[in-house]
Amino acid sequence: MIFLGILISYLIGSIPTAYIFGRQLKGIDIREHGSGNVGATNVFRVLGKGPGFIVLFLDILKGVIAVWGLSNLLGLGSNMQLILLGVAAVCGHNWTVFLQFKGGKGIATSLGVLIGFMLQIESLQLVVGLTLLVWIACFLISTIVSLSSIVAAVFLPVAMVLTDQPLELVGCGVLICVFVVFRHRPNIKRLLNGQEPRVPLYKKRQ
């Protein structure tokens, strides 16, 4: 049953919501616009706030369904089974079968996976809450989405260690962190060169 769950989880994660919205709303391939990334941040840039929030929600929902929904549907409740479902969903988003195994960076879907974990493992509530707070604080200070995502991803396994989570969950946190950093390599280069775009969160005084 776990192998069926992994396959379904991967396919759920693989649904390229950003690509679909680009095609349906503007008849464009979003990979050819903005940053070229198939994720919610690029949808915000190319299609606007409304579609951006919808894609963000749907990408988070993919992770929740893959972990919480499938685990309940298929009777998969152990930590390792939940981890396998979650990792499969993130891999699906990052390397989707529907776009020649090229996808997004996995931030929203990883958040959905963590929410799915949290709904099954009560001790993770504090971890997810703290990780979200770190992302929000970093974003408010830097107004850079990629930097906030990287910092939060690095903080995730640290928070798991500090809250005495089981070793397999800490390992999953490390794996998610590695995925995020690996997928953000171009962003890291731009950050080091001071070229990473910021979100115009604060208006300059005239």
Give the model confidence (pLDDT) of 75-95 as tens digits: 998 999 999 999 999 999 999
Name the domain count of the chain.
1
Domain that holds residue 98: 2-192
Separation CA 49–CA 51 (nearest Å): 6
Residue 97 in domain: yes
Among 195, 187, 130, which Cα is nearest to 163's? 130
Residue 201 in domain: no
Q: What is the mean pLDDT of the chain?
A: 94
Burial of 98 (0-12, 13-18, 19+ CB in 10 A): middle
> What's the pLDDT score for residue 205?
54
Among 60, 107, 123, 113, which Cα is nearest to 86's? 113
Answer whether residue 200 shows pLDDT above 90.
Answer: no
Residue 206 in domain: no
Residue 76 in domain: yes
> What's the pLDDT score for residue 203?
62
Question: What average pLDDT score do residues 27-40 get?
Answer: 92
Residue 158 in domain: yes
Question: What average pLDDT score do residues 114-125 get?
Answer: 94
Residue 200 in domain: no
Q: How many CA atoms lie within 13 A of 33 on its CB side?
A: 19
Answer whether residue 118 shows pLDDT above 70.
Answer: yes
Residue 204 in domain: no
Residue 109 in domain: yes
Q: Is pTM, for the whole model, over 0.95?
A: no
Residue located via tokens 């990979």:
31
